[in-house]
């Protein structure tokens, strides 16, 4: 059997505090059952503390800086820049042009550059743009800032998902994705509280209160980006002391694939990747709508992820609340969504049932939208918050090896983000948002159908692979080139449902 190269983890393990690497054999791939479970757990805990915590804070800052324009609009930005609601939607839409374009290709550079430079570099770049957004004095100046903000923020979510998918076993992943995206819920809750505090700086240094929202949040982002450089690991392929467990989890030896256009094309044409990617668009649409519609709800995939976030303050204000109440009343749904999404992720990983959890959460979302004419808020927020990590984990779990997974994640996130363009034009039928609700109901039904198709297809493919393995007496294939060529299509790779 050809022996795949095992990365030298010593230097990286010491950097993260991984002192016990004696369970690794650097000359050959470890055999089944050779894992030092205690050492693997210690390594995973340290990755949680260093990488997952940093990634969650980074995504928190990302959502905060991306969507605080909604708080700024409520704090007087529209009046000061002489912008109508139409112009505001134009500004939000243009953000997604560079955002989507860079999302599509950025993952292909992530491995080459390395996480330690790639992620802090993005944080610093968008923090600078966010800070300068506070100096704008015109509608056109705001458009330029939003274009640059989209360019610098676009690569982040695909990169973080790819990063985590390389670090965790497949059924340890959704809890981490849920924790990562809890940052969006926390940002939604914290954004209103922070804006409420900052608006009292109105007139300081001759700047309006909405400028101070951009100044303070942008400067903090830059500081954190610089600091994170000094503790993030350098290379996603060499830092995990329990890389052995990850290899055995996929039933394939980890192969060092190289970037090829054929890999990209094979990923984009794989039926399960296409279905998961398009499902992300509808899921995102839902998320966005939910939140906006009722003031609250934050980001699962696309439409919601990028729309609702902007319009929650607008929606709440349209119900007759004061600016202060508007900033505060969006908090409770996010808190509930965070708790329940973490619970759902725990059971999804434990019982390996991502698809069923996603379906159940989708019906909760559907029920919430059906009664939304009565302005129900919590059900949509909770349902979409559970659905998003399930959908993202399904994508990351079912694409292999690295560049195929990078392509699949990018495709899914691009589809999700594309919903944001639609989303920002939906919330113009206040205060009941009946048209938006009808769209959300339709998207929820389509998403449910997508998940059913995905589960059926993956189940069928697993049955086919089981038959192929039976022809070889269930003996694992030792052809590394064949594994590299087929990736997740190889008979030894079992799809996650």
Extents of the domains making up the chain: 36-239+259-489
pLDDT at 424: 62
**33 CB-contact burial (10 Å; exposed 0-12 / middle 13-18 / buried 19+):** exposed
Of residues 264, 238, 8, the one with CA closest to residue 114 = 238
Report pLDDT for 454.
Answer: 93
Over residues 224-250, the mean pLDDT reads: 71
Ranges 67-81, 213-227, 266-280, 414-428: which has the least confidence: 414-428
Cα separation, 308 vs 291, in Å, equals 5
The band of 423, judged by pLDDT with boundaries at 50, 70 and 90, is low
- Mean pLDDT throughout 11-30? 37
- Mean pLDDT, range 242-270, rounded to an integer: 72
Q: Could you tell me which residue, 324 or 223, shows the higher pLDDT? A: 223
Residue 12 pLDDT greater than 50, yes or no? no
Nearest to 103 by CA among 401, 402, 418, 392: 418
Q: How confident is the model at residue 27 (pLDDT cuts 50, 70, 90)?
A: very low
Most confident of the ranges 180-194, 238-252, 290-304, 477-491: 477-491
Is there a contact between 84 and 136 (Cβ–Cβ < 8 Å)? no
More confident residue, 51 or 303: 51
Cβ atoms of residues 162 and 413 within 8 Å: no
Which spans in 199-270 are helix H? 209-228, 243-250, 261-269
Of 87-91, 213-217, 257-261, 409-413, give the lowest mean pLDDT range. Answer: 257-261
pLDDT confidence of residue 150: 93
Examine the pLDDT at 58 and tell me if it is beyond 80: yes
Residue 23: count other Cβ atoms within 10 Å of its Cβ.
18
Give the CATH H-level superfamily of domain 36-239+259-489: MFS general substrate transporter like domains (1.20.1250.20)
pLDDT at residue 30, as a whole number: 37
Task: Identify the residue with better confidence: 172 or 240.
Answer: 172
Where helices occur in 73-137 by DSSP H, the ranges are 78-80, 85-113, 115-132
Angstrom CA distances, 103 to 50, 173, 175, 494, stand at 25, 21, 24, 28
Highest mean pLDDT among 185-189, 415-419, 432-436: 415-419
What pTM was computed for the model?
Answer: 0.81
- The reported pLDDT for the residue numbered 459 is 95
Read off the pLDDT band of 129 (50, 70, 90): very high
Q: Which residue has the higher pLDDT, 492 or 18?
A: 492
Least confident among 213-227, 242-256, 364-378, 437-451 = 242-256
DSSP 149: H
Mean pLDDT of 349-361: 90
From 57-71, 243-257, 265-279, 312-326, the region with the lowest mean pLDDT = 312-326
Task: Report the pLDDT value the prediction gives residue 290, as an integer from 0 to 100.
Answer: 44
Higher per-residue confidence, 335 vs 265: 265
CA angle 82, 86, 92 (to 5 degrees): 95
Burial 254-284 (b: 16+ CB within 10 A, else e): bbebeeeeebbebbeebebbbbbbbbbbbbb
pLDDT at 10 exceeding the cut of 60:
no
Residue in 279, 455, 12 with CA at minimum distance from that of residue 463: 455
Structure tokens at 371: 């009664």
Considering only residues 305 and 322, tell me which one the structure prediction assigns the higher pLDDT.
322
- Nearest alpha-carbon partner for 403 in 488, 495, 338: 488
């Amino acid at each position: 059997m050809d022996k795949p190269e095992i990365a030298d983890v010593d230097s990286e393990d010491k950097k993260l505090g991984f002192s016990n690497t004696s369970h690794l054999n650097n000359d050959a791939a470890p055999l089944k059952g050779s894992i030092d479970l205690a050492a693997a757990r210690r390594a995973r805990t340290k990755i949680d503390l260093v990488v997952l915590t940093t990634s969650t804070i980074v995504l928190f800052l990302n959502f905060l800086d991306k969507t605080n324009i909604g708080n700024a609009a409520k704090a007087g930005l529209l009046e000061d820049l002489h912008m109508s609601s139409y112009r505001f939607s134009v500004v939000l839409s243009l953000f997604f042009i560079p955002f989507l374009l860079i999302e599509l290709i950025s993952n292909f550079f992530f491995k080459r550059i390395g996480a330690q430079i790639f992620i802090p570099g993005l944080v610093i770049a968008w923090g600078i743009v966010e800070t300068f957004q506070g100096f704008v004095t015109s509608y056109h100046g705001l458009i330029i800032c939003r274009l640059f903000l989209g360019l610098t923020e676009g690569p982040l979510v695909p990169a973080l998902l790819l990063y985590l998918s390389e670090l965790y076993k497949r059924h340890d992943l959704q809890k981490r994705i849920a924790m990562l995206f809890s940052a969006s819920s926390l940002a939604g809750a914290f954004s209103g509280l922070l804006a409420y505090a900052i608006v009292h700086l109105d007139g300081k240094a001759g700047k309006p209160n909405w400028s101070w929202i951009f100044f303070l949040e942008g400067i903090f982002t830059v500081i954190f980006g610089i600091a994170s450089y000094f503790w993030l690991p350098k290379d996603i392929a060499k830092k995990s002391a329990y890389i052995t467990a990850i290899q055995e989890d996929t039933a394939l030896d980890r192969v060092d694939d190289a970037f090829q256009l054929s890999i990209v094309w094979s990923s984009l044409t794989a039926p399960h990747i296409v279905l998961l990617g398009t499902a992300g668009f509808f899921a995102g649409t839902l998320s966005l709508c939910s939140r906006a519609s009722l003031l609250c709800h934050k980001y699962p995939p696309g439409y919601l992820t990028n729309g609702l976030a902007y319009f929650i303050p607008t929606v709440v204000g349209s119900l007759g609340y004061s600016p202060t109440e508007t900033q505060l009343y969006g908090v409770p749904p996010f808190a509930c969504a965070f708790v329940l999404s973490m619970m759902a992720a725990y059971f999804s990983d434990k019982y390996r049932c991502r698809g069923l959890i996603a379906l159940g959460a989708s019906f909760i979302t559907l029920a919430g939208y059906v009664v939304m004419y009565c302005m129900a808020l919590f059900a949509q927020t909770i349902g979409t918050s559970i659905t998003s990590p399930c959908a993202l984990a399904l994508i990351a779990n079912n694409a292999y090896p690295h560049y195929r997974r990078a392509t699949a994640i990018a495709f899914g996130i691009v589809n999700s983000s594309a919903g944001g363009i639609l989303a920002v034009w939906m919330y113009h039928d206040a205060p009941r948002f009946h048209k938006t609700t009808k769209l959300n109901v339709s998207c929820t039904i389509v998403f449910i159908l997508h998940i059913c198709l995905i589960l059926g297809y993956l189940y069928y493919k697993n049955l086919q692979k089981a038959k192929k393995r039976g022809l070889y007496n269930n003996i694992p294939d030792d052809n590394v080139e064949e594994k590299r060529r087929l990736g997740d299509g190889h008979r030894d790779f079992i799809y996650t449902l």
